[in-house]
Amino acid sequence: MPRRKQKVSSDDIDESTCIAVHLTLKKFKSKEEEKEYSFPSSLNKNEKKYIRQLVLNMGLECKNEFKDQSRVLTIFKKEETSIMEQDVFLDISIESQKLLKEVLNQFPLTERERQDLTPLSEREKNPYIPFETRVYSRTVSKLKSSVPLIPPKPSPLKRENQSYIQETTQKLPIHNFKDLIMSSIDTHQVCLVTGPTGCGKTTQIPQYLLECASDTQNHVRIVCTEPRRFAVLSTAERVALERGESLGTTVGYQIRLESMTSPKTALYFCTIGILLRSLMGDIESFLHSLTHIILDEVHERSVQTDFLLTVLREYLHKFPNIKLILISASTEIDLLTDYFPGLQIVEIQHERYPVKEMYLEEILQELNYLSPKMKSYINSMNRKTEDNVSDKEDGYDENNYLESKEDSEDDDSNLYPSSELKQKIDTELFNAFIHESRQNFETAFKLIAESNTTINYQHSCTGINLLMIGAIHGYVEVVESLLHYGADTNLRAKKKLWTAIDFALDQEQHETIKILNSFMRKTPVVFKMDEGHLDQSKIYSMCTPSNSEVDLNLIFSIVKYICNLPETEELSTNNAILIFLPGCNEISILWSMLNKEPDLSVICLHSRLVECTDSFFKSPPSGTRKVILSTNIAEASITINDVSYVIDSGKIKDFSHEKNQWISKKSAIHRRGRAGHARPGMVFCTYTSQMYESLNENLTPEITRRSLVEISLQCKLLAPSNTSIVEFLAKCPEPPPVSSTRFAVHALREMEALNPSNEDVTELGSHLLDLPIDPHLGKMLLYAITLKCLDPVLTLVCCVSLPEPFSLVLNTNIVDQKVKKIRSEYAEGTFSDHMIRLRIFQAWQKATEEGNEEEFCKENNISSSVMNTITGLRSQLLGHLRASGFVRPRGTGDIKSLNQYSDNWAVVKGALLAGYYPNLARYDKKALRLKTAKEKKVNIHPSCVLSQSVKLKLSTSSEITKSAMSSLSTEWLMFDDMDHLCHVPMVKCVTPISPITVLLFAGPNRLSSENISDSNMFLDYSSDSDSEDGSHLDPSYSSILKLDDWTAFHSHGPLINLALNLRQKLSAIFLRRLQYPKKTMSQSDDFVIKICVEVLAREDAVLNLVHPPDIGQRPRAIDAFRKSFIGCNNSDVVEENSSEDSQGASFNRFANPFVLRSFKFFIIKATCAQAIEISLYRGVWQFGNQTEKKLLKAVKQGFNPV
């Protein structure tokens, strides 16, 4: 018998060589342009054998070659492709075939429908097909047409307010610069006013313009944009108050679905999105009607701010009558100076009061703070006293926390643990490095933390440490965390003498390089700390699980510490506390913690969590201290004079990745300044001073890192004719990468929002512009209306727009296992993550109605703020659909008729896929891998219920994916997102779907004749057939239907024709619905939709895909009232600085965000029935002046008007 070949393990190879080989292979595989690589001839037999084993495991090929008279081992890449081994064979059940023949026999495709389904590029070339260019007007969320007028002088203020307001405005720093500002605006078309936050820029400059126009009898129409809807409301109310007028007369505002203006309005406050939408109609006509445009908070550099600056600069030279005033809290103006030649700058000087700073290391010492995890850690250390003593005898010195480079390289002083533990840590470090294993990395980190070992511990032989591993594999969050914990960037590995940044450079980990460079540029701050302080700071770092989380317990302790401080002349209980938090979830949790304290009056400040704007400025009840929980909205958009204490979490919500990230140094300075606005103050930074020094000066502009799909769609209506989207966005102050813009344009063409030949906006694109969500989610809603399954799709659209409801509670393995069990139960056997979200929302809704919301959220580890956000976003989107005419107030086309098939899970999946395309994955049964159109191999993310359904304990994601897909009766998955941070991309939030669902709803609505391979397959379905079981089909007679270059089906010609005709009928109905949204659906269209629903359900049943009952539950009555007024009305998903903000009901901003207030009912007699219908249609109620005063009075008294 031949001898069996012995495998060579990493133990048989020198560890330094082993690491070098893995680095080389990883680098070679990551570079697509490199096709082969030859190792040096000096390798011995075992080393070559080890490399061959690795090469095979990594999907590469190798062979021995002679080069330069030496025998070398050369590795090659396999020619892989995402193309499937074979097309899908379409098989439709006999019952479904009968249904298809029936509908196509009764309602065949008409000639007009065939013309409508002709691809736009072909239609333009064919003179026999009528082609009309439509101008689509958006009727919602834009400023009303008006003309400039002479504003009246301010009205006399009420006696009780006059002296206070005059005194306040005259004390503002901007007051001394009034003449300079006005003269600069008069003599220059573009003017920039800079000054610190709270100096009066936002409220006073518009008033100066009104007063000047009134004095000189000039006609003006002023538009002032704010980045957030809350800032629009609060600023408009404040300016109207200071002028002694009612809001809606000279001063008005406009936000989505809500406005308060009149023919007398000369000053309009609005979000950036409203101004952009107004410009999309007739841009030149609209600009002719304006005299001044004020852009506030331009330093925030949001996507829409940069985009609006680009649009205005493009047209400004045509309108010399317009004055553009830019307002910024930052003094860094070089970018704007270059962007607007001749820019006039006015800088407002203002000396702030001194602010005492306390960073994390001082806070821990001052408060003697111990979190539950820190206490647990200390207890475990006390139990290991004897071990610690023996470790210390072996050379461990607790005071020597950060070793120098020489110590780590020249001696063994960094090897603190015992020899047994040291071997375990070395093994985990090595495996984490070699095998790119997060599990090994986490084990190594845990061993280091629990053994009280330094975070800079290095492998005994190779010298690698945690930071180097994080750097080489691109673990961005890990690297940030380790630097926060005190990792040393100067330590070097032993053979190549590489530091962490050298490893990152070698593997081209650009994000990691950026973080390390930023950290290394700063001079470390050295603190003189006693031994106890050092231990406490070190323990805190070890016990902080994630660098992106906020320690709310620490913030709570700081609040209590402030409340116990002795009163002084400058700092008293009348001074408010302002707490900066990343998002709605943190605000909700901390509110529930602080609200239990009787001596605190807690107010929430969030663009979706807004109360009566007066409450922020008023003094709290006697004996209480005002505490304001805010996102970054309080950095510059609003000034609260009685704030003397600021607690800065140092985090901001990164909406592109739905996680928290570090703020910039500029933001930290703005936050600190809030404490010294009116008097000396204190700021408590829950991050170290070393971390502060490592912060970036400014955050990267959003437009360079966010999705450009939505802005690209808007761009086509605002860019000059004959200017492409790529060309126009290249004119931004800091242009986005061309590749990002091209990707966005390609995505819009794929979803048919843009004409593929000339980038013109289509009917679909026009309607998507009206919805305040991502275009692909808007397409889902429009398909749901056509398929009459609106409610579940509307809920799911809101759900996938938001973070996972479990996101804040996955802190321990125990909770993780509990959540997995909960997810599995809510999936109900569908293996669908979408079903989980739908069922969770429905269960939460029921619990809320029964008064068990808190208990339900606690038991199921659900974030109530996310659930409340979904409710508000649902209400807002429904309002938009009503305003656009898709949802009628009554009769055919009302909300009831549009939910006729909402209980059918198959048709809901069809509507979702129509929007998700091309987010489609198929399991290749020959190659045994999951593929997408662009990826040769993907795995299912571990968070997916389908991945968690695998009972076997498999070690790799690839094995789990194979096992999960093999257990399904379908090979198709649709997915919400793809995680590219892993070595193999992972699909997230997946749902299994049937082949017929893919055929009907994937790909473009307008298929070219080239997509069908056999033109002779069409049969006459009106003729009788002797066989109804499909036996007449010739098995050798096959045709192919291509939806795109990747998705294709083959089957018998007549069967393909059946499915194709149904697809074309559905597409024709959908396009007709877009063209005439207010027109009711015909009986023939209703019948086609009914048959389509039956076919989808039957084919799912054939594949044993589970259909849970009652998924179309209508939202309960509580949504219309309570949920419009409490919780997070709309989301962290729509960014804090977005002007495309969502709204709820008209009086939503006055509601307390967490406490249900009593209702006050009004019966209002309408002047005519038409007025009611118009209000229902538009989603906005308009009342007479007297009625409106009564409603506002009820609101201010604490009631919810109904």
Domains and CATH numbers, the chain: 10-77 (3.30.1370.50), 159-351 (3.40.50.300), 372-534 (1.25.40.20), 551-645+662-683 (3.40.50.300), 700-769 (no CATH), 774-902+1117-1125 (no CATH), 1157-1201 (no CATH)
Within 8 A by CB and 6+ apart from 260, the residues are: 236, 247, 248, 252, 253, 254
Quote the pLDDT of residue 1017: 43
Helix, strand counts (H, E) of the chain: 49, 29
- What is the 3-state secondary structure of 26-86? HHHHHCCCCCEEECCCCCCHHHHHHHHHHHHHCCEEEEEEEECCEEEEEEEECCCCCCCCC
Q: Is 872 helix (H, G, I), strand (E, B) or coil?
A: helix
pLDDT digits (tens, 9 = 90+) for 9-45: 555 666 667 777 777 777 777 666 677 778 877 777 7
pLDDT digits (tens, 9 = 90+) for 735-750: 988 888 999 999 999 8
DSSP assignment, residue 754?
B
Element (H, E) at 1040: strand 1038-1042
**What is the rounded distance in angstroms from the CA atom of residue 148 to the CA atom of residue 125?**
46
Say if residues 684 and 648 touch (Cβ distance below 8 Å).
yes
Structure confidence at residue 361 as a pLDDT band (50, 70, 90): confident
Q: Is 191 helix (H, G, I), strand (E, B) or coil?
A: strand
Quote the pLDDT of residue 1102: 94
Residue 386 predicted with pLDDT over 50:
no
Nearest of 1182, 606, 1142 to residue 877 by alpha carbon: 1142
For 440-463, what is the mean pLDDT? 78
pLDDT digits (tens, 9 = 90+) for 537-567: 667 776 665 566 788 989 999 999 998 888 7
Quote the pLDDT of residue 610: 44
Structure confidence at residue 1028 as a pLDDT band (50, 70, 90): very low
Both tokens assigned to 442: 């986490």
Say if residues 346 and 181 touch (Cβ distance below 8 Å).
yes
Nearest of 587, 592, 625 to residue 606 by alpha carbon: 587
**What is the rounded distance in angstroms from the CA atom of residue 28 to the CA atom of residue 35?**
8
Residue 1 predicted with pLDDT over 90:
no
- Measured from the Cβ of residue 901, the count of other Cβ atoms closer than 10 Å reads 24
Phi, psi (5° rounding) for residue 142?
Answer: -145, 160
pLDDT digits (tens, 9 = 90+) for 510-519: 778 878 877 7
Quote the pLDDT of residue 1199: 58
Within 8 A by CB and 6+ apart from 77, the residues are: 29, 34, 35, 36, 60, 61
Element (H, E) at 647: strand 643-648
**What is the rounded distance in angstroms from the CA atom of residue 433 to the CA atom of residue 716?**
48
Place of tokens 């090595």: 430
Element (H, E) at 7: none
**What is the rounded distance in angstroms from the CA atom of residue 793 to the CA atom of residue 790?**
5
Which range, 232-246, 379-393, 475-489, is most confident? 232-246
Query: Terminus-to-terminus CA distance in the chain, angstroms?
Result: 89
Element (H, E) at 1120: helix 1117-1125
For 879-899, what is the mean pLDDT? 86
pLDDT digits (tens, 9 = 90+) for 173-208: 898 999 999 999 999 999 999 988 878 899 999 999
Phi, psi (5° rounding) for residue 921?
Answer: -125, 145
DSSP assignment, residue 128?
T
Quote the pLDDT of residue 492: 83
Higher-confidence residue of 387 and 622: namely 622
Q: Is 789 helix (H, G, I), strand (E, B) or coil?
A: coil
Both tokens assigned to 761: 């906006």
**What is the rounded distance in angstroms from the CA atom of residue 340 to the CA atom of residue 730?**
16
| Exposure string for 119-138, b = 16+ CB within 10 A, e = fewer | bbeebeeeeeeeeeeeebeb
Residue 715 predicted with pLDDT over 50:
yes
Say if residues 281 and 138 touch (Cβ distance below 8 Å).
yes
- Please work out, in degrees rounded to the nearest 5, the angle formed at the alpha carbon of residue 632 by the alpha carbons of 340 and 201: 50
Percent of the chain with pLDDT over 70: 74
Q: How far is CA 406 from CA 411, 488, 489, 1001, 1100, in A?
A: 8, 12, 13, 64, 66
pTM higher than the cut 0.85: no
Quote the pLDDT of residue 453: 76
Within the chain, what is the greatest distance between any pair of CA atoms? 109
For 593-602, what is the mean pLDDT? 88
- Mean residue pLDDT across the chain: 78
Residue 1094 predicted with pLDDT over 60:
yes
Length of the chain (residues): 1202
Both tokens assigned to 359: 């960073």
**What is the rounded distance in angstroms from the CA atom of residue 596 to the CA atom of residue 591?**
9
Quote the pLDDT of residue 391: 46
Helices 476-485, 466-473: axis angle to 10 degrees equals: 150
- Measured from the Cβ of residue 557, the count of other Cβ atoms closer than 10 Å reads 18
**What is the rounded distance in angstroms from the CA atom of residue 521 to the CA atom of residue 513?**
12
Percent of the chain with pLDDT over 90: 26
Quote the pLDDT of residue 117: 83
Residue 1150 predicted with pLDDT over 90:
no
Quote the pLDDT of residue 872: 83
pLDDT digits (tens, 9 = 90+) for 47-92: 777 777 777 666 677 777 766 666 778 887 665 555 554 667 888 8
Nearest of 887, 847, 925 to residue 1078 by alpha carbon: 887
pLDDT digits (tens, 9 = 90+) for 1097-1128: 999 999 999 999 989 887 764 443 333 333 33
Helices 853-860, 864-883: axis angle to 10 degrees equals: 110
Quote the pLDDT of residue 385: 47
**Alpha-carbon Rg for the chain in angstroms:** 32
Say if residues 562 and 358 touch (Cβ distance below 8 Å).
no
Element (H, E) at 266: none
Beta strands in 152-301 (DSSP E): 190-194, 222-226, 251-255, 258-260, 267-271, 292-295
- What is the 3-state secondary structure of 683-736? EEECCCHHHHHHCCCCCCCHHHCCCCHHHHHHHHHHCCCCCCHHHHHCCCCCCC
Parallel, antiparallel, or unpaired for β 972-979 and 920-924?
A: antiparallel
The 643-648 sheet, strands edge to edge = 355-358, 681-685, 643-648, 576-580, 625-630, 600-605
**What is the rounded distance in angstroms from the CA atom of residue 1067 to the CA atom of residue 1065?**
5
Structure confidence at residue 374 as a pLDDT band (50, 70, 90): confident
Paired with 1160 in beta bridges are 1201
In sequence order, which ranges of 788-852 are alpha helices (DSSP H)?
A: 790-800, 813-827, 833-849
For 924-943, what is the mean pLDDT? 88
DSSP assignment, residue 1000?
H
Say if residues 48 and 529 touch (Cβ distance below 8 Å).
no
Report the range of poorest mean pLDDT among 134-138, 368-372, 583-587: 134-138
**What is the rounded distance in angstroms from the CA atom of residue 583 to the CA atom of residue 1131?**
9
Both tokens assigned to 179: 């003449």
Beta strands in 105-168 (DSSP E): none
**What is the rounded distance in angstroms from the CA atom of residue 896 to the CA atom of residue 887?**
10
DSSP assignment, residue 745?
H
Quote the pLDDT of residue 120: 74
Higher-confidence residue of 734 and 909: namely 909
Phi, psi (5° rounding) for residue 1119?
Answer: -65, -40
Quote the pLDDT of residue 145: 80
